[in-house]
Amino acid sequence: MLPINRVKQALKSGQPVYGTMLVESPSSAYIMMLAHVGYDFVFIDMEHGVYDLGDVAGMIRVARLAGITPLVRIPDLAYDLVARTLDAGAMGIMLPRVETVEQAQTLV
């Protein structure tokens, strides 16, 4: 059974959601803190951040356990990044610099 993406549900019903982006610290403590204070999501930034896929996988795992929706901004449209990020449990991804319909379709 797939976990429920509470951010997606809230947005579909017109409710606001709150979150932030992490860029510099791979510490899972920040994710726990964000969940504890009531954030709905955390964006883990692989484009400008210092994270490799191992860091991101660990952060996703902690976010899901803490009940905060893990989203990841990947640095580019590379199949291995998309697939491995989703395989690690990301509940959404952001692709920067999308300039064509074909890029969006490839991502989907």
Catalytic residues: 48
* Distance (Å, whole) CA 11 – CA 7: 6
* Distance (Å, whole) CA 56 – CA 81: 11
